[in-house]
Structures are given as C-alpha cells and as structure tokens.
Chain A
Amino acid sequence: MSAPLLQVQSLVTEFGTRDGAVRAVNGVSFDLGEGEVLGLVGESGSGKSVTGFSILGLIDPPGRIAAGSIRFEGRELVGAPPEALRRLRGHRIAMIFQDPMMTLNPVLRVDTQMVEAILAHERIPRAQALERCAEALHRVGIASPGERLAQYPHQFSGGMRQRVAIAIALLNRPSLIIADEPTTALDVTVQGQILYEMQQLVRDAGTALIWITHDLAVVAGLAERIAVMYAGRVVEQGSVDAVLDAPLHPYTRGLLDSVPANNPPGIALRQIPGMTPALAQLPPGCAFAPRCSQAAADCSREPAVQRIGAREVRCIRPLQVTAPAAHSSGEAQP
C-alpha cells in the first residue's frame, strides 16, 4: 500500500499561557488518502481548527507544534522551513475559512485577490491568470464571472463570497483542501447547495478534503471517514457509516443523541451533562469521564487507542464491547 497523502501522527500543538502550556491538540493521529473526504467533528475548543492550522503551518506564537509529525506527499511538515511551507500553502494545500464575510480582503477587488493567489506560486502572464480565475468562478457556479471578477467583495452575498473562497482554494488545483466550517455562517439552503457543489468539485478534481465542523448532519452527507475530537484528542474515528450508526465512544453517542432529527419530537433532547472542560484544567485520565454515563474508577487512567476492525476508539469501555449503553436507543447495534 502506498503512503497516504497526509499522515498526521501524535500531533501536539501547545499554546503558551500565563498558567503554562495548554495543549489544544494532544496526540492527534489520522491518515488521509488521495481524494478522500474526512470529517473532523467536535465542539468549540476541541482542537479541530487548531489541527487544521497546524497542518498548514499557520500556528503563531505563543502557539507551537510541540511534538508529532505531519507528513504530506511524503514530506515532513513539522519543522520545515517557513518558505517551504509558504510554497505549499494555497498551492498543494488550500484552506477555506468559516466566515465568508471576513475571508476576502474588503479593499481589494476579487480579481486582484484571485490573481495574487495564482502568481504567488506560478510565473504566468496576468491575462492567463485572469482567464483561470474566470474559469474557477464559473466552476463554482458564479454567473458572468467576467463581470464579477471586477467587483469588490461587498458586492457579493454571503453564499457568493463563500463560492469565491472555494474558487480561490481550487485555483491552483491543490491535492488537499482544509475547510474550516465553511458553511456554518450560511443559510441552510445555501449551505446545502454549497455542500453538494463542494462534493462534486473535489470528486471531479480528485482532491482530498478535511471538513472541519460541529455539524454531524453535514459530515454524514459529505465525508467518507470521520474523526471525532474532544479536548484535543481524537476519541473515535472510522468510516462515517460505521461511526454514526454504531458509535463506540460515549461522547459520539452523546453527540448523536443531541441531534433533534434522531429523536422523536416532543421529547426533551438528551444532552451531554456538564460543559467542555477548560484545556488548562483537564481531569486526569479520560477528559470526557466527568461527563460520561459509562465512567468508572479506572477512567482516571489515560485510555489508550483501541483498534476495533477498521475503527479506532480512545476509551477503555467502548460501547459495543461492553453491554449496550443504558440510554442508547434502538438503532445501536448489538
């Protein structure tokens, strides 16, 4: 088997604070094959965005990658010279951000920003670059790209701007796109369209995609594999169908139970009790234990990653191995 496109191993990203280093990402490992779509799911502060930024080499002081390895197309990115990282960014690895209102520079015309993204990596005539920009806009479904190119970002609607951001990400035909909640700020209808288009686009181009989100429904429709993050760790990963149908980790179970569509109407949603812990004061052992319905005394030990088939779970008492969870609904597999 050839090496995967992206191989993240035991990645630790720390942020220095007054109270010492806080580990926003704590030993995250996952592989991503070419053209594969991975959903990276978690609550705010679970470290999913920081994982994305770490891959791009965009962690600023006081943050730093403290340990681990990120191999992309066979090259180690941790500790690579800034210039090498810069050449990868926007060229081999592109990023799409959350807020389409903010990701385009308000004072520059769209064509300026798009041409700039091409010319940062290639020496081609401006006219040729412009042509490619128009083509990219056309590909993401923007009508009359020629006119649109000469406009400023404020003349675009939110959905249109996100399309422009996607077009920019696709400009240099990257082999990996990291999308950080790109549809969260959009209307549901627009969100659906963009998800659908995005799926087509990466499939056509054979681009691998890491889709960072807190929305399980989005991942279910888009991704092939899913990694669920909690307090800086990947607590469970595997194929989307397997994980969402029969979660192994109590946290994933809890997340699924709190999705309204999975529950009969009129009954109060089951919530995960408690709050996400502050990263500076994580409990010893499993960070989820204080909120976990399955927790027992030995959960104060650090849980190791267990491999169950093609899946991985970081829990000493994964749901299916023990008895079915007390609160689990009928859809949990025996």
Chain B
Amino acid sequence: MSPWARFRADFAASRLALFGLIVLTLILVVALIAPWIAPQNPYDLGKLDLMDARLPPGSAAMDGGLVYRLGTDGQGRDMVSAILYGLRVSLLVGAASGLIAMVIGGGLGIVAAYLGGRFEQVLMRIVDIQLGFPAILVALILIATLGKGVDKVIIALITVQWAYYARTARSAALSERNKEYMDAARGLGLGRASIVLRHLLPNALPPLIVVGTVQIAHAIALEATLSFLGLGLPTTEPSLGLLISNGYEFMLSGKYWISVYPGIALLLTILSINLVGDQLRDVLNPRLAK
C-alpha cells in the first residue's frame, strides 16, 4: 500500500473527521463559486435597497424580485449572499495568513534547527517574546498602526502566527536532524540547501501541517474578532465577523438572523477545520499509530 493510500485509509477511520472534511469541502466549494450561486452581489451597493432592510427570513423583496431566505441586514443585503461572500473573505484571510506564516515561521524554524548556534538562540528568544503576548493584543496594535484593509489584516495575522510555526518546525527538525539519515545525507556530500530542503523539510512537515490547520482556524476566528471589534476589513465588503457585528445591535429587538446565521457559518467553518486538523494530528503522529 502506498503511503498516500494508507494515509487516506487512516484518515477515513474516524467518521467525525470524515464529516468534518465533507463539511469543509462543501464550505470551500460554496465560497469558491459564490459569485455564481449567490442570489445577489452584496458588494454592489447599487443593487441594495434600503427598503428591504432587516427583513426576516423568507420575506420577498419589496420589488418582488428575490426571496430573502435568511432575511436581510441593516442595508437590505440578502443574508445568503452576504454569508457566501463573507465566507470567501474569511477563508481567504485565514488561509493566506496561515500559509504565509507557515512558510516564514516553518522556514526559519527549520533553518534554526539545522544551523543551531547564535541564529537559533536569537530566533527562539524572539519566538518566546512573541508568544508571550496575547495574539489579539498584538493584532489590535498592528491594525491600529497599519490601518484597515485585507492586506493589513493578513500582515497582522502573519505576525501573530509565525512564531507557532517556528517553534513547531524547530522542534520537529531538531529531532529529525539527529537521525542517521541526516548524517548519511551529509556523508553523500549533498549541499546544505539540498539537505535542508529535500531531507529535513519533508520529514519535519507533518507536525507543521497539523499546526497549520489549527492555526488557519485560529486566524479565521481572530479575523472575525477583529472585524467584530470594527477593526480590520472595510464595512463595504463584510467578512463573517463584520456581519455578526452588524447584526449585534439588532439582536435585542428580535432581529436575530443578521448575527446568528453568519455565526453558524463561522462556527461550522472553524469546527470542520478543527475536526480535520485533529484527525490529521492523530494520523500523522507516529506515536499514536496503532
């Protein structure tokens, strides 16, 4: 059985994880094709009608065109469309920041483990300091200084996340570094770059992938938090967090749908990523292998 086939079989052993994977795939597909399946373009302010604001789920538009299955928000946006587009923003921000942080932090951590010495010492102390601050605090300060925008949010999220990857990658690479095949690779006269990239990196990758999935879920949650606090993304292109925040003021007047449905979408997204991540951790951890 090829390693890949065994990996798939191990992963599918948990029904819950399989469920998570299916939900996650659905969410990804839906987010990807949102422009073609959304009843309305929620970013096109010309299409929104304030007359339709805060309609409950199932109402028809005043002009009789659309049926708002999940109601509308304060600007008369169709909630279904807003959630679909909001998912895109949340996933984009989460995945982009998670992946870039993984490349930066993982790369630094592996190089630190390979080189050792002062570089490793300095880098790991920076990691310690970085992890000593609460992520949300660092992100808030950065957004306050950098200003709003998707790119700024991604930069802030990379800054608070790279250290996790660096620490994980270093410890994984340290334990791989002392294995005999690393000596063997050096004994073959391979260059440094090829030893790090082709021998150390692939063997240190599994824990990074696990941290990666969990961190992407964290990034999505963190972005939602920032948006909820009114920082980060512009109001014209709401992410899930911003939608929740927008509906928050109407919660007490019984207009629950503006906050609750985006909240459910966010919950499902993070939950499914975590289910997949947990199973990946179990499958990729040789110590838990049966």
Contact residues of A with B, CB < 8 Å?
56, 58, 61, 86-91, 94-95, 97-99, 102-108, 116-117, 120-121, 152, 154, 165, 168
Contact = CB atoms under 8 A, between A and B. Distances in A.
Given A97-B180, A120-B191, A152-B3, A89 B186 contact: yes
8 contacts: A86-B190, A97-B184, A103-B183, A103-B184, A106-B203, A107-B202, A107-B203, A120-B191
Listed residue (B116, B184, B187) with the most chain A CB atoms within 10 angstroms of its CB: B187
Contacts of A117: 188-190
B14 interface: no
Listed residue (B117, B181, B183, B189) with the most chain A CB atoms within 10 angstroms of its CB: B189
B198 interface: yes
Interface string B165-202: 00000000000000111011111111100100011001
A102 B177 CA distance: 12
Please name the 10 residue pairs, one residue from A and one from B, whose CB atoms are nearest each other, closest first. A90-B189, A90-B188, A89-B189, A95-B187, A102-B180, A103-B184, A107-B202, A117-B188, A105-B181, A120-B190
B203 A120 contact: no
Interface in B112-142: 116-117
Contacts of B117: 61
B188 A98 contact: no
Contact of A105 (B3, B186, B191, B203): B203
Contacts of B186: 58, 89
A120 B194 contact: yes
Contacts of A95: 183-184, 187
A179 to B, nearest CB: 11
B187 A89 contact: yes
Listed residue (B185, B191, B203) with the most chain A CB atoms within 10 angstroms of its CB: B185
Contact of A165 (B184, B189, B199, B202): B184
Contacts of A58: 183, 186-187
Interface in B199-239: 199, 202-203
Given A107-B203, A120-B194, A89 B181 contact: no
A116 B190 contact: yes
Contacts of B180: 97-99, 102-103
A120 B190 CA distance: 6
Given A90-B189, A106-B203, 18 more contacts: A58-B186, A58-B187, A61-B117, A87-B189, A89-B187, A89-B188, A89-B189, A90-B187, A94-B187, A95-B184, A97-B187, A99-B180, A103-B184, A104-B181, A105-B199, A117-B188, A117-B190, A168-B188
Contact of B189 (A86, A99, A106): A86
Nearest to B201: A107
Contacts of A87: 189
Nearest to A86: B189
A161 B180 CA distance: 13
A162 B141 CA distance: 56
Listed residue (A94, A107, A120, A154) with the most chain B CB atoms within 10 angstroms of its CB: A107
A56 B187 CA distance: 7
A102 B189 contact: no
B187 to A, nearest CB: 4
Contacts of B188: 89-90, 94, 116-117, 120, 168
A140 B206 CA distance: 34
Given A95-B184, A102-B180, A106-B203, A88 B189 contact: yes
A134 B198 CA distance: 22
Contacts of B184: 95, 97, 103-104, 165
Interface in B221-273: none
A95 B188 CA distance: 8
A55 to B, nearest CB: 11
Nearest to B188: A90
A169 B183 CA distance: 13
Contacts of B189: 86-91, 117, 120-121
A105 B203 CA distance: 8
Contacts of B202: 105, 107-108
A173 B246 CA distance: 72
A103 B190 contact: no
A94 B188 CA distance: 7
Nearest to A165: B184
Given A88-B189, A106-B203, A116 B198 contact: yes
Contacts of B187: 56, 58, 89-90, 94-95, 97
A260 to B, nearest CB: 30
A113 to B, nearest CB: 8
Contacts of B198: 108, 116
A165 B187 CA distance: 11
A164 to B, nearest CB: 11
Nearest to B184: A103
Nearest to B180: A102
A80 to B, nearest CB: 13
Nearest to A95: B187
Listed residue (B116, B179, B190) with the most chain A CB atoms within 10 angstroms of its CB: B190
Contacts of A99: 180
Nearest to B3: A152
Nearest to A94: B187
A132 to B, nearest CB: 14
B95 to A, nearest CB: 24
A48 B290 CA distance: 38
Listed residue (B179, B181, B188, B199) with the most chain A CB atoms within 10 angstroms of its CB: B188
